[in-house]
Amino acid sequence: MVFFQTGEGGDVQPPQFLLILFNMYVSKIQWCEYTHNFWHGCKKIDQECSRCYMFRIKSRVGEKGSVEYRLSDKAFYAPPYLEEGKIIFTCSYSDFFLDRADEWRKDAWDVIRKTPQHTWLILTKRPERIIQCLPPDWGDGWKNVWLGVSIGKLVSFQRAATLTNIPAAIRFIYGEPLLEELDFLTEMDGKRLIDSFHWLILGGESGDEFGPNQYRPCKIEWLQRAIHALQTQTQAKVFVKQLGSHLCKEMGLKDKMGGNIHEFPQELQIRDFPIFNLAE
Ligand code: SF4
């Protein structure tokens, strides 16, 4: 496995034609190579979910994001067909620790266990459910699974605190959409949370200019100050995903989500991955 920066276009390459049939996609999400969903649908749980892209995309095709269902076996069991190791984000159309998925998750863990060539990125807003949902042979954390929590507001730091108590090969914080200025050096119980994390992804919210999916602002200074603090006072790797639609408008960027790294101010042109030798 070689870490690299995924391109903006996410071009389709063989055997992608086959994997699309099976619901695996080369991703345009900058911090992974593929997305794979074992199930779809979710429940919004807080303000950070209010503009959830999965709900937006589903509504465009006349579906409801709130309908939770397992995908077909053909889709569910597709990952082993991809023999070369990839960085896979699951579940991009749900939450891996959704309670509705309790009856499906064991089979999902089996797929992940049988595909050590892949690096599985699991991002959740429900870290309080992780411990009860881990497979019995989890141990200190499977090497091919990274666990992350979303933090867009101060109140969500509790998610990071919860994740620090769960064994994992790599832990990450997903600070997108960043909805207020956050101090990622914040302490809980006398310890800096960030010291238990290897990776921090940052970004502003994407969305429409008006209407129910109107984007919320992210200020460039929030990103600049966060990155400066992280780079000068922590070991965590930083990945700037996108500046978001608000900054796109304010800065006159061409990419509507502010996701083109070449349009970022130079000090924000950072897309590092955590150091992790997958061959070990
Ligand atoms: S937890 Fe994630 S997938 Fe579920 S509603 Fe919130 S943002 Fe959407």
What residues flank ligand 1, with Cβ below 6 Å? 42, 44, 49, 52, 54, 94-95, 125
The 3-class SS string of 132-175 reads HHCCCCCCCCCCCEEEEEECCCHHHHHHHHHHHCCCCCEEEEEE
| Residue 53 CA, ligand 1 centroid: distance in Å | 8
Helix locations, the chain, DSSP H: 16-21, 53-60, 73-76, 102-113, 130-133, 157-164, 220-233, 245-251
Ligand 1 atom, smallest distance to 46 CA: 6
Residue nearest ligand 1's atom 6 by CA: 49
Q: Report how far ligand 1's centroid is from the alpha carbon of 14 (Å).
A: 31
Six token digits for residue 127: 């870290």
Confidence of residue 5 (pLDDT cuts 50, 70, 90): very low
Pocket test for ligand 1, best of 54, 55, 97 (most atoms within 8 A of CB): 54
DSSP letter assigned to residue 271: B
Atom number of ligand 1 nearest to Cα 54: 8
Tell me the pLDDT tens digit for each residue of 139-178: 999 999 999 999 999 999 999 999 999 999 999 999 999 9
For residue 91, give the ligand 1 atom closest to its CA: 3
What is the per-residue pLDDT across 222-254, written as a single tens digit (0 to 9) for each?
Answer: 999 999 999 999 999 999 999 999 999 999 999
Mean pLDDT of 98-113: 98
Please give the structure tokens belonging to residue 64. Answer: 């409801």
205: its two tokens: 């919210």
Band of residue 277 on the pLDDT scale cut at 50, 70, 90? very low
Percent of the chain whose pLDDT exceeds 70: 90
User: Please, are residues 104 and 75 in contact by the beta-carbon 8 Å criterion?
Assistant: no
Closest ligand 1 atom, CA of 55? 8
Distance 21 CA to ligand 1 centre (A): 25
Q: Please tell me the predicted confidence (pLDDT) of residue 278.
A: 40
> 147 and 163 in contact (C-beta within 8 Å)?
yes
Residue having the nearest C-alpha atom to atom 5 of ligand 1: 44
Question: How far does the centroid of ligand 1 lie from the alpha carbon of residue 43, in Å?
Answer: 7
What's the pLDDT band for 23 if we cut at 50, 70, 90? low
